[in-house]
């Protein structure tokens, strides 16, 4: 990325009211650009990505299986993102399917089912084993009591960038686990931010997060030189910040290759779902 583009991005970040964070790393040249990259942000749905990593870590250790069956009672369904809330009565789903729903359509009921199945202490302990110290999944979604006493979920742009880089290098947990996590992230259906100005089906492995006062997106963009990019915000003009995410991701891809070429090895990353 050329110096002028770095300066333009920094100037625009400086112009936002509220809190913003940004982390970029070219995974070929190792070039980085950081802005409030170590600040903790309320996570919204971003924390579903490290929870996915926790699941695959525990699967790798033989403590759980993606075939494990989980009961979701009708009263546990949440009126938020997802499809499970529309399914009648109590249902039983396997852990692997819940993980896919958690990421691909950001299903909140699926996320709570996974989180509660593992248990809060197990999740926190495993995040630390994954070297995620500032990434905190401390409560299920819509746990009003824990939220009322200040217990929340957090992430930092740099730490999630580190997680994504390990996925790209196939060094997160194992080559197989990294591949499968990347594969799920590539199926993401909420694509109006990082992917918003890129050609349809441009390869991006990412996870979004949004609530009434925050909007985030973090991912691996498989441009000619793949890069990690992480956007975080809190109490900003959400429409303007999401436009910033779209434009600046596109600008970076364009600065790497004018023709918006994709990674030469992308065909070796075969998708399955």
Determine the angle formed by the axes of helices 175-186 and 48-60, rounding to 10 degrees.
150
Q: Measure the CA–CA gap between 44 and 209, rounded to whole angstroms.
A: 5
Pick 41-154's CATH classification: 3.40.50.1100, 3.40.710.10, 3.50.50.60, 1.10.10.10.
3.40.710.10
Reported as a pLDDT band with limits 50, 70 and 90, residue 17 is very high
pTM of the model: 0.94
Reported as a pLDDT band with limits 50, 70 and 90, residue 273 is very low
| Token pair of 253 as six digits | 């891809």
- Contact by Cβ (8 Å): 106, 206: no
Reported as a pLDDT band with limits 50, 70 and 90, residue 80 is confident
Residue 67 backbone dihedrals phi, psi, to 5 degrees: -90, -5
Pick 1-39+156-273's CATH classification: 3.40.710.10, 3.40.50.300, 3.30.750.24, 3.30.1330.40.
3.40.710.10
| 66-80, 163-177, 242-256: range with lowest mean pLDDT | 66-80
Predicted pLDDT of residue 33: 96
Question: What pLDDT digit, counting tens, does each position of 138-158 carry?
Answer: 998 888 888 889 899 999 999
Q: Measure the CA–CA gap between 231 and 44, rounded to whole angstroms.
A: 13
Answer whether residue 86 shows pLDDT above 60: yes
Tally helices (H) and strands (E) across the chain.
Answer: 9, 9
| Token pair of 189 as six digits | 């259906």
Q: Measure the CA–CA gap between 156 and 34, rounded to whole angstroms.
A: 11
Domain boundary assignment for the chain: 1-39+156-273, 41-154
- Contact by Cβ (8 Å): 25, 31: yes
| 72-76, 139-143, 178-182: range with lowest mean pLDDT | 139-143
Predicted pLDDT of residue 128: 97
- Compute the average pLDDT of residues 254-262: 96
β-pairing verdict for 32-35 and 91-94: unpaired
- Contact by Cβ (8 Å): 193, 231: yes
Reported as a pLDDT band with limits 50, 70 and 90, residue 270 is low
Question: What pLDDT digit, counting tens, does each position of 209-251 carry?
Answer: 999 999 999 999 999 999 999 999 999 999 999 999 999 999 9
| Token pair of 242 as six digits | 């999401």
Q: What single-letter DSSP state applies at residue 236?
A: S
């Amino acid at each position: 990325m050329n110096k002028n583009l770095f300066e333009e991005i920094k100037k625009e970040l400086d112009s936002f009211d509220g809190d913003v964070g940004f982390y970029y790393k070219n995974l070929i040249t190792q070039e980085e650009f950081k802005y409030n990259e170590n600040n903790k942000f309320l996570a919204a749905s971003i924390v579903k990505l490290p929870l996915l990593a926790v699941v695959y870590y525990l699967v790798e250790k033989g403590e759980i299986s993606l075939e494990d069956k989980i009961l979701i009672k009708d009263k546990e369904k949440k009126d938020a993102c997802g499809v499970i809330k529309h399914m009648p009565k109590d249902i039983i789903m396997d852990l692997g399917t819940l993980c896919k729903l958690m990421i691909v359509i950001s299903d909140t009921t699926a996320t709570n089912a996974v989180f509660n199945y593992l248990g809060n202490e197990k999740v926190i302990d495993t995040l630390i084993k994954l070297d995620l110290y500032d990434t905190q999944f401390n409560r299920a979604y819509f746990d009003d009591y824990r939220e009322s006493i200040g217990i929340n979920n957090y992430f930092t742009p740099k730490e999630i960038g580190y997680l994504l880089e390990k996925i790209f290098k196939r060094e997160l947990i194992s080559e197989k686990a990294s591949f499968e996590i990347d594969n799920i992230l590539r199926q993401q259906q909420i694509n109006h931010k990082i992917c918003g100005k890129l050609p349809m089906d441009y390869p991006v492995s990412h996870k979004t997060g949004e609530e009434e006062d925050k909007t985030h997106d973090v991912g691996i963009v498989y441009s000619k030189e793949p890069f990690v990019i992480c956007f975080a915000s809190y109490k900003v003009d959400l429409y303007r910040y999401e436009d910033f995410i779209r434009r600046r991701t596109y600008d970076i891809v364009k600065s790497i290759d004018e023709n918006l070429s994709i990674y030469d090895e992308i065909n070796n990353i075969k998708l399955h779902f």
